[in-house]
Amino acid sequence: MKKKNLLPMLMVGLASLLPAASHAKDNPSIAVVNFGTCVQESKYGIEEQANFKKVEADMRNGMEDLDRQLSETLAKLQDNDYLDSLSPEAEEALKVKYQNLSEEFGRYQNQFYQVMQAAQAGLFRSLQQSINAAAEEVAKKDHIDVVLNKEMAFAISPSLDITSKVITQMNKNFDADAKNTKVNSLPVGGAK
């Protein structure tokens, strides 16, 4: 009988302690940042997207070249007049060439997808770090306790959105990084 009475009292006592222990502030300030907007509008995002597109274009050019060679070789193999003009050894060499190109194209295609996935993951990771750093700086300046990704919430009051401030800070960080990179790449004697 005593154990049954003690348990509810203990739970009420613990429950009354939890709010005091879990909140150092009575009203923590919360803000949100739109990740996608930061990617599209910040200097970091624009640069990272341009780098990604360059990698993609380079890889596509290589695939298109292989595809062109493969198509030309296949056309020759399907042209009976052309095949009739070849010696048996040359015809066999053409078939081997087609098989090798097909295998190379398959390998290149797999490599293309792997490189693009790695580039996309790198882009995301890099931008996540840039956004995190800028959001932390804005939160510190504006005394914000928690900054969340806007895409994680179902509904947000527009007054909580600090995306434009974070983009501004990201651009300041980008300019500072660009300046530091430029200074570090100067010859030892300085600019000439």
Q: Is residue 7 domain-resident?
A: no
Judged by average pLDDT, the poorest of 8-22, 28-42, 76-90, 129-143 is: 8-22
Per the domain annotation, does 102 fall within a domain? yes
* Model pLDDT, residue 187: 62
Query: Cα(14)–Cα(16) distance, rounded to whole angstroms?
Result: 5
53/85 Cα distance (integer angstroms): 44
- Number of structural domains found in the chain: 1
Evaluate whether residue 190 is within a structural domain: no
Q: Can you give the pLDDT at residue 181?
A: 78
Scan for tokens 């600090």, then name that residue.
162
**105, part of any domain:** yes
pLDDT in tens, 149-181: 999 888 889 999 999 999 999 999 999 988 887
Per-residue DSSP letter, 186: S
Report yes or no on 150 lying in a domain.
yes
DSSP for 59-76? HHHHHHHHHHHHHHHHHH
User: Is position 131 within any domain?
Assistant: yes
- Name the more confident of 10 and 70: 70
Which domain covers residue 53, as residue numbers? 28-167
Q: E-assigned strands of the chain? A: 30-33, 146-149
Q: Note whether residue 182 is domain-resident.
A: no
Cβ neighbour number for residue 138 with a 10 Å cutoff: 22
**Domain membership flag for residue 162:** yes
The whole-number pLDDT of residue 22 equals 41
- DSSP symbol at 79: -
Please check the confidence at residue 134 and state whether its pLDDT lies above 80: yes
Tokens 């070249």 found at:
65
CA atoms within 13 A of residue 22's CA, in its CB half-sphere:
6
Provide the pLDDT for residue 47. 94
Contact predicate 42/167, CB 8 Å: yes
In sequence order, the β-bridge partners of residue 33 are 149
Tell me the CATH number at 78. Answer: 3.30.910.20
